[in-house]
Structure 1
Amino acid sequence: MTRPTPRSTILRVGDEIRWGGDAFTVAALTAEHVRLVDAAGAPTVARLPDLLGDPALEVLSGPTIAPLRSLDSLPAEVVEAARWWERHIVEVLTGLPPDPDARQRSKPKYDAGLRSLRQRELAKVEELTLAGHRIGWSTLKRRRLDYERDGIWGLVDQRATRGRSPAGRVDARVVEAVARAIAEETDRSTGTVSRLRRRTEQLLAAEHGPGVVALPAQRTFYRLVARLSQGKHTFGSARTRRSLAKQPEGPFSTLVAARPGELMQIDSTPLDVRVVLSDGQVDRVEMTGLVDLATRSIAALVLAPSTKSVDAALLLARALTPEPMRPGWSDALRMSRSVLPHRSLTSVDQRLAEAAARPVIAPETIVFDHGKVFLSQNFRSAARALGISLQPAHPDTPTDKPVVERTLGSVATLFAQHVAGYVGSSIERRGRRAEESAAWSMIELQGLLDEWVITVWQNRPHEGLRDPITPDKALSPNEKYAALVAAAGHVAVPLSADDFVELLPSTWRVINSYGIRIARRTYDAKALNPYRRQHSGVDHKNGRWELHYDPYDVSRVWIRNHHHGGWITATWTHLRTTPTPFGELAWQHAREILARRGNDHATEAEIAHAAADLLDRAENGPPTNESKSSARTRRVVGRTEATARAQPKPAPQQDDDTEPAAIAEAPMAKVIPLGVFDPFEEARKRW
């Protein structure tokens, strides 16, 4: 039971006190000293702080202040009973009920000037008895003394204030066994209480011997389990149960970043939206996002059928590249129309004058999980080139990067559920015939997502961006960025075209007379003439030249000029005979198709023709023979066309001479315009 709080005392001149075992009377008080007189009349002067701070001080007379306690934790009927006693006792003490009217007068039988306290108490006992309440004078007197000592808390039924153990009166050994059994349920499939009861019996028998500790009755056991498993989802969702078990046991809080880019978090998650791939197949895609902790800005957010290490590396480049305005976007989305400090940013990079209102944030530290995409050498090399520190989260601990986890979840709540093709996060949340609804293509959905980030997310007040000085005002990511840039004193310089190429995967090749060959593809350019069959000057690479390539756009490669600096752009010799963009994944898949046909020594032209046939079949729709269109083929097609997005790349060299012979002699193909995908028209079709 909780001990009562000591009463607060008012010390005044004339009060009697007991201090140091002797009785004194307060004769005088000052701001710092108190004059005391004992029973013999001998004066004593003491420092007031020493007197009041002595726990042995006891005030024998004088008014007291009842301790203040909250009644909110008590049952309503207990509080109402205490209020009922208070109304009658206050009337006995003062002659008036609590909160009387200004014109109200006390009853003669409760008038303190005419009746003694005992007479008033007897009159109240008589009044309550006539009203049907059998209360004796001693009970009323005890209640009055309790009220004078502890206020209304003295009138509360103290049985309601006693704390109860969650286990009640159950044997402590049973409670311990039930707690262990509940902890074991974390990684198991969800079961019932009966299975938990059987496991508890096994634990008790193993620990204390069979039959030594008896289990309580079934209803008592069920109540015990309900109390001990509260908030753990022991008999609910297994996914939620495992997620709750990953939370730290002790107190934890979110790190606070003082400037944009100081701490960022990256993660991937499936998007609960059906997307139309190029071959007409519909499937969900993965969404990879990079979020800034200080401003809650989404620095980059991309969609792909499956996240690759190159996607994570190019995500860094996208975060450091201005978002260009696109046709059809509102003029209000320009950076020059936003709260961002566009004048100072434009002075750093003129490309920002025509950019959309998304800040360019240079990451300093990125927190990531242990996915193989983020542990890849490609992603680490890109971060190292940009001077970014990588900080891996603890294994199986999502609370190490809660901001990006919650942000990607918010995208599903604020954006995905309003998009055609939304199917929910599980079968239980899926609507009727959701698979038959209209859906966007990958490229169209990426465009909508980019526009939504700039239009909604960057301008939406965020609960995590409340200033400690003015907590009633929530800032938007763009507003927080504008405020922190002024405080940080620096801005991020966007990546140049050459910097973007530096982030691409690299390899080393020899420049031959026919150009450069990579993965059986030949690239050539007039600018390579002075360097054919020449030593690059890099001895540890045996004179080979450094080459960078985009796995999702094999139309060209970039060769580092080790002699004079800069980059040399070389185009694919079969560029005019194959649809572009043409990804590395589709190229490799085409080679595998030919290998299965028995053509192990396929020529480059045959591979290009097989790849073109693959894209043609995807464009014309699913074939009648299902064996010709495997699940992997559909994934390759969707990934190839969906991930080929425009990026800032160095422009090709403008040579005075003609293009390479293989390109110049190729006939120009007839341009066939494609219609615009209309989801509403597709929804009205009967398949």
Structure 2
Amino acid sequence: MLVDQLHLQAAADFAVLGTGARAALGSAALLGHLPEEVAERALWWQRHIVELLTGLPPDAPAGARPRPEYDPAVRSLAERERAKAAELAAMGEEISARTVKRKRQRYEAGGVEAVVDRRLAPHASLLGQADPRLVAAIRQVIAESVDASTRTIEYARWRTEQILATEHGKDTVEMPSRATFYRLFGKLSRGVHVTGSARTRRSLADQPAGPFRYEQVAAPGELMQIDSTPMDVLVRLDEGVPGRVELCGLVDVATRTIAAAVLRPTTKSVDASLLLARALTPEPMRPGWAQALAMSRSVLPHRRLLTLDERLEHAAARPVIIPETIVCDRGKAFISENFRAACRSLEINFQPCHPRSPAEKPHIERTLESVATLFCQFLPGHLGRTAEHRGRRVEDEPLWSMMEIQELLDEWLVAKWQTRHHDGLRDPGSPGRTFTPNQKYASLIESSGYVPLALTGDDFVELLPATWRAVNSYGVKINHRIYDCAELGPLRRQPSGVTRKRDLWEIHRDPYDASWIWVSNHWEGGWIPVPWKHLGSVPQPFGDLAWDHAAADLRQRGEKDPSEMQIAQAVADLLARASQGPDGESSDRATRPSRRERRVAARTRAAAESPGQRPPTPEATPVSSDDPPAHDAEEEDDQQDEEIAKVIPLGVFDPFKEADKRW
């Protein structure tokens, strides 16, 4: 009778009967690390045990028949064990049937490795004969060192004695010698960096205990990671003031493309939001760039993409990637409501990591380190990873400005990073072949497709940080600054209709430029640009950093509640004094700006020079009753007419001197 195997196995009462336990193979490779006589003895036992179990030795020729005393069809297992013991006794081996049985059981459980005589093999225990209580105390010391400062092994030895005395009593557990403790501590703390870098020790402790999960991504933008880190380069902020800036980057996991990277004095939520906008915008070709950096000269499918997105006509060889999911850490700039709102408006899934879990976004962590090693170390003013890697008088080197480094970084990303073979981009069929980010993007875009997403001026306003305020008779007041214009007339003292926000009005503002705010018109839609009331009283736009510093300085001088005009004038004086430098016109030490004042002014002006696209600034005259009168232009013309015979070279426009003339 023949039965189909598929029908037989599909039956409800199908079961395999009569299966026995198969002998384990074991690891014969371990015999090579044993002494020769010990390995030969184990193989000798294997030959006899195999004959006892199967009836034939391992080297039996084909067609051989078992000996009668070892035939499994005739003799039982106990009879064969007694026969093997008698045979070995005749050979001069004093071995009983019970010993043969024990060796047979070990062989069936662990293979040839289990029949090794451990008395003749070298001792391979990790901890030797150490007291378990001593080992537990050392492990506790290692666990305590994760969040503590780095100390020496001698401290760990002292701390171990304290733990043993507290838990088991003094002199109850004998402490080993100093050399023995050092060897034991080295075995237990291997790979933990107890006496090494504290940063590495905490990073290893934060890693998950299980295996790392591999993210399967098949399209550009499917999974992207964002992070910021201090850049290991000093920059020249303004008037020669050296300072350090932060690098904020966005990397695509599928292609390892750095979709956007910007330098800012400090990373804020507006920087993270505008970084998304820059990733959605093609990188334009800059004057002075080689034509080989154009997208039309690269491996990217420029002609096919140009039919879908006209913005790529003069674009550089950097892909435009629209994020679907963004992974970030718990930094204030990334978990802020502004960045979350930007992700919601662009329909991006926002996925924050667990606290202190850099392993959940390893690609951006390693990418920022690669930028430091492949780009930053070639710049003057390189600081190194830590203070111990820093050279002397780095601030005296010819430093680039933040905008100049931004230009260099943009060109380097297109010329080097996007054309560099990445070890994480390998062909699954040919693991020895690697791809560049541009090559990987070109291959994935064929299956995933491309849909352009162009942002308008209102979209950039949407990406700015939001706050909720009331529109009063005098306008809108934010951080002691009053904003007002004629377009706010219908909204004054009126509820916005947003009950969940107590009928307040939604207002977006740029923390790096306090000159304008944008009020959302909840009744008719759109945005109303509103200027600052004292916009004409300061020489240039400034942000919250300079404003807060000036307000704190006034309070230290005795002004309990400085007025808005006083703070504005203090900011203007701060910028003017900082622009003169330490060798300026003022030689009095009391009137010179302090190092902090110069740094605040320099960082404020550097932040005002945005490397990417910014919200459009309306051309409007601010409403202010305190605007200073304009200077007499006819008087200046008369002075120039008097010296008409003298040739005066064209100088550089100085906004601070022009502002002083207005007073």
TM-score strictly above 0.5: yes
Look up the match of 1:633: 597
**Mean Cα deviation higher: 541-550 or 498-507:** 541-550
Q: Name the SS for the 1:383 alignment partner.
A: helix
Which of 240, 258, 261 is equivalent to 2:218?
258
Look up the match of 1:367: 327
Which of 226, 232, 257 is equivalent to 1:272?
232
Superposition pairs of residues 255-654 of structure 1, within 5 angstroms: 255-491=215-451, 493-507=453-467, 519-522=480-483, 524=485, 528=487, 538=497, 540=499, 546-561=506-521, 565-569=525-529, 578-594=538-554, 607-622=567-582, 625=589, 628-644=592-608, 645=610, 647-648=612-613
Percentage of matched positions with identical amino acids = 52
Aligned residue identity for 1:171: D
Q: Name the SS for the 1:464 alignment partner.
A: strand
- Alpha-carbon distance change, 605 to 668 in structure 1, aligned in 2, over 3 angstroms: farther
Deviation at 1:589, TM superposition (A): 3.7
- Alpha-carbon distance change, 646 to 570 in structure 1, aligned in 2, over 3 angstroms: farther
Look up the match of 2:12: none
Contact 1:553 1:580 survives alignment (8 Å): no
Deviation at 1:376, TM superposition (A): 2.3
Deviation at 1:659, TM superposition (A): 9.7
Aligned residue identity for 2:481: R
Aligned residue identity for 1:457: W
Look up the match of 2:72: none
- Alpha-carbon distance change, 562 to 597 in structure 1, aligned in 2, over 3 angstroms: same
TM score, norm. by length of structure 1: 0.68
- Alpha-carbon distance change, 381 to 205 in structure 1, aligned in 2, over 3 angstroms: same
- Alpha-carbon distance change, 435 to 195 in structure 1, aligned in 2, over 3 angstroms: same
Contact 2:282 2:320 survives alignment (8 Å): yes
Deviation at 1:259, TM superposition (A): 2.0
Superposition pairs of residues 206-285 of structure 1, within 5 angstroms: 206-285=166-245
- Alpha-carbon distance change, 349 to 557 in structure 1, aligned in 2, over 3 angstroms: farther
Look up the match of 2:158: 198
CA distance in 1, matches of 2:230, 2:147: 23
Contact 1:288 1:302 survives alignment (8 Å): yes
Which of 152, 167, 171 is equivalent to 2:127?
167
CA distance in 2, matches of 1:283, 1:649: 23
Provide the aligned length of Structure 1 versus Structure 2.
Answer: 548
Aligned residue identity for 1:643: A
TM score, norm. by length of structure 2: 0.70
CA distance in 2, matches of 1:397, 1:334: 38
Contact 1:275 1:421 survives alignment (8 Å): yes
Deviation at 1:641, TM superposition (A): 1.8
Look up the match of 2:652: 673
CA distance in 1, matches of 2:504, 2:211: 56
CA distance in 1, matches of 2:574, 2:173: 71
List alignment gaps of at least 5 residues for structure 1.
1-49, 58-65, 84-137, 140-152, 676-687
CA distance in 1, matches of 2:164, 2:407: 61
Deviation at 1:399, TM superposition (A): 1.1
- Alpha-carbon distance change, 433 to 173 in structure 1, aligned in 2, over 3 angstroms: same
Q: Name the SS for the 2:350 alignment partner.
A: strand
- Alpha-carbon distance change, 229 to 73 in structure 1, aligned in 2, over 3 angstroms: farther
CA distance in 2, matches of 1:70, 1:442: 60
Aligned residue identity for 1:629: P
Contact 2:495 2:503 survives alignment (8 Å): yes
Aligned residue identity for 1:382: A
What CA deviation, in whole Å up to 9, does each residue of 1:116-146 have, x standing for no partner? xxxxxxxxxxxxxxxxxxxxxx99xxxxxxx
Aligned residue identity for 1:673: V
List alignment gaps of at least 5 residues for structure 2.
1-15, 41-90, 93-112, 637-649, 655-663
CA distance in 1, matches of 2:117, 2:213: 40
Contact 1:579 1:612 survives alignment (8 Å): yes
What CA deviation, in whole Å up to 9, does each residue of 1:274-295 have, x standing for no partner? 1222143223222222222222
CA distance in 2, matches of 1:597, 1:195: 49
- Alpha-carbon distance change, 379 to 542 in structure 1, aligned in 2, over 3 angstroms: closer
Deviation at 1:422, TM superposition (A): 0.4
Contact 2:483 2:517 survives alignment (8 Å): no
Deviation at 1:349, TM superposition (A): 3.6
CA distance in 1, matches of 2:618, 2:296: 33
- Alpha-carbon distance change, 245 to 534 in structure 1, aligned in 2, over 3 angstroms: closer
Contact 1:511 1:531 survives alignment (8 Å): no
Contact 1:582 1:641 survives alignment (8 Å): yes
- Alpha-carbon distance change, 590 to 235 in structure 1, aligned in 2, over 3 angstroms: closer
Q: Name the SS for the 1:470 alignment partner.
A: coil
Deviation at 1:565, TM superposition (A): 4.3
Superposition pairs of residues 100-115 of structure 1, within 5 angstroms: none
CA distance in 2, matches of 1:236, 1:539: 56
Look up the match of 1:111: none
- Alpha-carbon distance change, 661 to 238 in structure 1, aligned in 2, over 3 angstroms: closer
Q: Name the SS for the 1:424 alignment partner.
A: coil
CA distance in 1, matches of 2:601, 2:614: 24
CA distance in 2, matches of 1:596, 1:218: 57
CA distance in 1, matches of 2:145, 2:504: 59
Deviation at 1:603, TM superposition (A): 6.8
CA distance in 2, matches of 1:553, 1:367: 29
